[in-house]
Amino acid sequence: MQGLIEKELSGADKILKPDFASRAGREFLAYYLQTKFKQIIAFDKKYSTPIFREISPDFISRFSKRIINNPSKRFLISITGESAAGKSTICREIAKVIEQLSMPVTVLTTDNYFNDISSLIAQYGTFDNLRDSGYDVDAPSSFQLEVLRHDLQDLADGLDIKSPMYLPNGTGVSIPSAISVKSSKIIVVEGIATMYEDVKEVFDVKIYVETDDDVRKKWFIERAVGERNQDVNNALKHWDYIMKAGEKYVKPFRKESDIVINGKSDLKYFAQILEYIHAITNNFQ
């Protein structure tokens, strides 16, 4: 992939930048990106650990129509998948590349849209007690989906927002309008809530991150014990919950995704793909 990037940047015959304000210019851009995306897919198939597992047959044509017919709207990309599949890791890599290349991209997590359950945690004593009582943490009803949808629509229309902030410290506190979020040209939104009803249709591209269960379990336990100070027994109990929740709330949306990617992908290789996309969309004469 690095070779493709260098070839793109060093090419002598650069394409004259079309007028994207015109339909003809956007049609050219759509055709150009189709060609380049097919090139990425072909390269990826030959890679030792391909990042793309599945791509919807009509994705490229729908992507092209979106560029041509609705150029003023911001581009919204959702990244979902079961817990510990690698969503957050991939988004951190996206954020790293964004900073390096000054790309016009905003990254947002739906974890900040959990309901405020501080009163319930106070009633039951701890988050774990509340979960053990039957509270369904990952259910759609546990999120502020109306607020999320409204914020996403504002971002798509070019309006900056202030998202809520959910405190990941076991208190269950959600602070409204706490985080300033800029409406960049591209908005990447990570979390299981991106594919819930009344939210999923806002997105232009839906990406599903998939990782084998044994790897996910290893990552989940390491994160719970090492980063969140949970004991192993409680982490295993919560793992049992998210396995059931994933089957019920997350896996059904895999078939609705545009792209399924491998959560175990080499992050350096993933970063190179992002760099190549940046190169092909900014390397006009």
Per residue in 220-277, pLDDT tens?
A: 999 888 877 788 888 899 999 999 999 999 999 999 999 999 999 888 888 888 888 8
The single residue listed with the structure tokens 């988004």 is: 91
Report residue 103's pLDDT band, with 50, 70 and 90 as the boundaries.
Answer: confident
Which has the closest alpha carbon to 147: 167, 180, 176, 190? 176
**Three-class DSSP category at 107:** strand
Q: Considering only residues 207 and 169, tell me which one the structure prediction assigns the higher pLDDT.
A: 207
Output the CATH code of domain 70-264.
Answer: 3.40.50.300
Report residue 4's pLDDT band, with 50, 70 and 90 as the boundaries.
Answer: low
- CA–CA dist 274, 65 (Å, integer): 22
pLDDT > 70 in the chain, percent: 93
Element (H, E) at 179: strand 174-181
pLDDT of res. 182: 96
Q: Is the pLDDT of residue 126 over 80?
A: yes
50-69 average pLDDT score: 90
On whether the CB atoms of residues 283 and 29 are closer than 8 A, the answer is: no
Domain with CATH 3.40.50.300 in the chain: 70-264
Structure tokens at 193: 């809530």
53-72 average pLDDT score: 89
80-84 average pLDDT score: 93
pLDDT of res. 197: 87
Report residue 11's pLDDT band, with 50, 70 and 90 as the boundaries.
Answer: low
DSSP state of 114: B
Phi then psi dihedrals of residue 11, to 5 deg: -65, 135
CA 151 to chain centre: 16
- CA–CA dist 139, 111 (Å, integer): 12
Q: Is the pLDDT of residue 12 over 60?
A: no
Supply the Cα-derived Rg of the chain in whole angstroms.
20
Q: Is the pLDDT of residue 178 over 90?
A: yes
On whether the CB atoms of residues 263 and 211 are closer than 8 A, the answer is: yes
Count Cβ atoms within 10 A of the Cβ of residue 38 and give its class: 0-12 exposed, 13-18 middle, 19 or more buried. exposed
Structure tokens at 117: 């359950």
On whether the CB atoms of residues 173 and 162 are closer than 8 A, the answer is: no
pLDDT of res. 71: 83
The single residue listed with the structure tokens 């041509």 is: 68
26-55 average pLDDT score: 89
On whether the CB atoms of residues 192 and 250 are closer than 8 A, the answer is: yes
